[in-house]
Amino acid sequence: MLATASIACCAQPPRPVIDSAYVSVERAYFPQLSPDTSHVAYSTVDGLWLILRDCATGSDLVVDSVGAPGYDARFGGDGRLYYVTMERRKNNLVYRTAHSFNPADSSHRVELEAQHGAVRLCPTASGMAIEGEHKSRVIGDKRDKWVYTVGSKLVIMNGGHKTEVSPAGKCAGYIWASLSPDGKRVVFDAVGKGLYVCDPNGKVQARLGNYLMPAWLDNDYVVAMLSSANNRTVKKQQLVALPADGSGDVIELTQPDEDASYPMSRGDGRVAYSGRHSEGCVALMANAECEVRNAKSEVSRQTHDIPAISGLDAGKISPRVFVNPGHGGHDNNDRPCPFLNDAAGATVQYYESESNLEKGKALCEILSHKGYRVITSRVDNTTADDLPLFEIVALAANSGADAFVSLHSNATGVAKRMNFPLALYRGYTGEPKSEGSDQIAKAVLKYAGANQLAPWSATERAAGDYSFYNWGYGVGLGVLRYNKLPAMLIEGTFHDYVPERCRLLNSDYCWHEAWVVSKGLDDYFSRPDKSGKGLVAGVIADSQAKRSYKGQLFGRDSYRPVSGVEVVLSDKHGHRVASYKTDMRDNGVFIFRNLKPGTYHLDVPSRPLDEPIEVEVKAGRDTYADILY
């Protein structure tokens, strides 16, 4: 018998579990229990493999390894294992197909043909509801109950009746919705607000606090993962039981040092989760009468035929991009950088979260204007917006996105300064874990490296996070770690290089970086620029005056930017077209957008040039022209 305490399926508080049985000693994540607990399905850390463990024999079977089938697999009430695969098609749009696998006879079948957008698996008492954005299907009794989320809406299906509610109001989105075993309550995570419990009509019954990945332990308790309340990042991961009515004590289910995560329960008191004592393994927290063998075995890489999927015309479908402005709130992980700004004549505070948000909001606006569908992880900059990485990845997975882009700026962490664009993706360099991630990185860097508003100390670079950080397999950047979408994180510039920090205080400069990223996405999705417009951007600086900053400087950054002056753009006939007043943040940046192709001239009325600078604007091109005295 296992040395585990019983977790009773009743209103009595569950007792803390001291020991758990390890079902798998492989690197295993996102576990799912079959209805009879005879099998545990789990995934590799990158979500690329879906594996089934027979708890009686200890043998492993690869259910699927094509199309990233892991992470969101679910057992249905009929005992079949359901999962979703992804396939990039024309113009790099992602199509998702729903499959099922029967552990009894090892048979596969396609349950819902490929479609663009999100495909959500919703377990029911008799089978599975597959909710696609274009086509859906119910396997089993259509009178069953199930729940799922779309943005900040909770969708509750009850006897064929559909209810859409927003119990927690607007936020970045709802995720991890779970229906209680008796069907009377729903628990879900309102991102940035915490866990809520509501009735089937959407009436809030309790708020459970700042926890992650909720699931019903029974009708009275919810199992969830504890996250740090200090900086919204997860360091020590611990499972707890929460009274569903919001009253009573929080009960520890695992030891604080076990780093337990991804809890899954079928509402019968058993919990499957990942523990990290063995670098990621599935553990089963069981009732006392349930015995699970702890067997070590090699993964049996059995193959099978996946039914062919007919092609669909993606030409008129809008790409969907998930935008993640990095960090959030002025918290410990925001790397505040106060510095003396010459033009402002005072010490100015710089927060990476602010410039990331400026870039993120601009990118959402630009992409939406270009016809993309855009989802974002935050639109504000408070502590509540500094989401745990698990939530960000879950939001992206639930969005049906074709690509994921995380916006950041960089810092060396050492005394030597540098400045260049860096794009990172999951995996080793040249070997992305999510297909297409390296292509997005390279497409964006093509334009980022050509951006002449910032002097570069080195050429742009794309790399896998396993290689770049020299951390090896399975580690890397947290926001990419469990993200199986084509995904990349761009460090657009280095904010610990002071001239760059001054530029990042300019919202138009942040807009321009977002514009550069959008052009890379246009290339990735094969969407030519049809606006017929161009832009002119540059910096005005005094070549006779040096910066007071004594550190290493690159290119024209050694010259003192001119602040608070008007730059005028005129057409070739001398008629004023637009003007731009440089800010008081010691950067000298000016940008003119949405210009028709043609010849223009730049001048500064308060400090007239000997000859206005002539610039040629071309459709779909960025024209750069500095003004140096």
Nearest 5°: phi and psi at 137? -155, 145
Q: What does the pLDDT read at residue 23?
A: 56
Do 104 and 169 share a domain, yes or no?
A: yes
Do 446 and 390 share a domain, yes or no?
A: yes
DSSP bridge partners of 195: 189, 209
Q: How many CA atoms lie within 13 A of 527 on its CB side?
A: 21
Q: Which two tokens stand for residue 86?
A: 């992804």
Q: Tell which wins on pLDDT, 419 or 476.
A: 419
Do 101 and 127 share a domain, yes or no?
A: yes
Nearest 5°: phi and psi at 391? -70, -40
CATH of the domain at 579: 2.60.40.10
**Sign (positive/negative) of CA torsion 611, 613, 616, 619?**
negative
* pLDDT one-digit tens code per residue, 372-404: 999 999 999 998 899 989 899 999 999 999 999
Strands 211-216 and 204-209: unpaired
CB atoms within 10 A of CB 412: 12
Is residue 315 included in any domain, yes or no?
A: no
CB contact at 8 A, 496 and 412: yes
Q: What is the mean pLDDT of residues 326-346?
A: 84
Do 198 and 278 share a domain, yes or no?
A: yes
Residue identified by tokens 């007792």 is 15
Q: What does the pLDDT read at residue 27?
A: 67
Tell me: pLDDT of 229 over 70. no
Q: What does the pLDDT read at residue 26?
A: 55
Q: Which two tokens stand for residue 541?
A: 């600086």
Given 260, 285, 310, the domain boundary residue is 285
396: domain range? Answer: 320-524
Is residue 279 included in any domain, yes or no?
A: yes
Residue 120: closest CA among 177, 205, 79, 41: 177
Rounded CA gap, 561 and 471, in Å? 40
Given 524, 547, 570, the domain boundary residue is 524
Of 12-16, 72-76, 245-249, 508-512, which gets the smallest average pLDDT?
Answer: 12-16
Q: Which two tokens stand for residue 388?
A: 């745990």
Strands 194-198 and 186-190: antiparallel
Do 492 and 565 share a domain, yes or no?
A: no
Rounded CA gap, 138 and 24, in Å? 32
Percent of the chain with pLDDT over 70: 88
Q: What is the mean pLDDT of residues 199-213?
A: 94
Do 546 and 405 share a domain, yes or no?
A: no
Q: What is the mean pLDDT of residues 235-255?
A: 85
CATH of the domain at 85: 2.130.10.10
- What secondary structure does DSSP assign to 546-573, as a single string? E-S--S---GGGGEEEP-S-EEEEEETT
Q: What does the pLDDT read at residue 475?
A: 81
Tell me: pLDDT of 37 over 50. yes
Tell me: pLDDT of 608 over 60. yes
Is residue 425 included in any domain, yes or no?
A: yes
Grade residue 140 by pLDDT with cuts at 50, 70 and 90: very high
Do 339 and 448 share a domain, yes or no?
A: yes
Do 512 and 381 share a domain, yes or no?
A: yes
User: What global pTM score does this model have?
Assistant: 0.87
Do 140 and 181 share a domain, yes or no?
A: yes
Do 392 and 465 share a domain, yes or no?
A: yes
Specify the amino acid at residue 415: A
Q: What does the pLDDT read at residue 28?
A: 78
Tell me: pLDDT of 126 over 60. yes
CB contact at 8 A, 197 and 246: yes
Rounded CA gap, 620 and 607, in Å? 31
Tell me: pLDDT of 258 over 80. no
Q: What does the pLDDT read at residue 557?
A: 96
Q: What does the pLDDT read at residue 302?
A: 34
CB atoms within 10 A of CB 371: 10
Q: Tell which wins on pLDDT, 473 or 242.
A: 242
Q: At what angle do helices 352-369 and 507-524 cross, to 10 degrees?
A: 50
Percent of the chain with pLDDT over 90: 68
Is residue 5 included in any domain, yes or no?
A: no
Is residue 382 included in any domain, yes or no?
A: yes
Give the containing element (helix H, strand E) for 466: helix 465-468
* pLDDT one-digit tens code per residue, 281-321: 566 654 322 222 222 223 332 333 323 222 223 346 899 99
- Distance from the first to the final alpha carbon of the chain: 83
Grade residue 257 by pLDDT with cuts at 50, 70 and 90: confident
Rounded CA gap, 363 and 341, in Å? 27
Strands 281-285 and 346-348: unpaired
Q: How many CA atoms lie within 13 A of 547 on its CB side?
A: 23
Grade residue 55 by pLDDT with cuts at 50, 70 and 90: confident
CB atoms within 10 A of CB 168: 22
Q: What does the pLDDT read at residue 29?
A: 85
Q: What is the mean pLDDT of residues 136-157?
A: 96
Q: What is the mean pLDDT of residues 420-436?
A: 96
Do 492 and 551 share a domain, yes or no?
A: no
Rounded CA gap, 101 and 303, in Å? 13
CATH of the domain at 348: 3.40.630.40
Q: What is the largest CA-CA distance in the chain?
A: 91
CB atoms within 10 A of CB 167: 20
Is residue 489 included in any domain, yes or no?
A: yes
Do 464 and 600 share a domain, yes or no?
A: no
Q: How many structural domains does the chain have?
A: 3
Residue 589: closest CA among 488, 492, 512, 474: 512
Q: Tell which wins on pLDDT, 308 or 551.
A: 551
Q: What does the pLDDT read at residue 343?
A: 83
Rounded CA gap, 203 and 222, in Å? 18
Q: Which two tokens stand for residue 556?
A: 């024209």
Rg (CA), the chain: 27
Q: What is the mean pLDDT of residues 331-358?
A: 87
Q: Chain-wide mean pLDDT for the chain?
A: 87
Strands 320-325 and 373-376: parallel
Q: What does the pLDDT read at residue 312?
A: 29
Is residue 196 included in any domain, yes or no?
A: yes
Give the containing element (helix H, strand E) for 324: strand 320-325
**Sign (positive/negative) of CA torsion 328, 332, 335, 336?**
positive
Q: What is the mean pLDDT of residues 227-232?
A: 47
Q: Would you call 512 helix, strand, or coil by DSSP?
A: helix
Alpha helices (H) along 49-107: none
* pLDDT one-digit tens code per residue, 80-99: 999 999 999 999 999 999 99
Q: What is the mean pLDDT of residues 51-74?
A: 92
Tell me: pLDDT of 44 over 60. yes
- What secondary structure does DSSP assign to 325-358, as a single string? E---SS-GGG----EEETTTTEEE---HHHHHHH
Q: What does the pLDDT read at residue 6?
A: 28
Given 266, 285, 304, the domain boundary residue is 285
CB contact at 8 A, 284 and 40: yes
Q: What does the pLDDT read at residue 333?
A: 76
Is residue 6 included in any domain, yes or no?
A: no
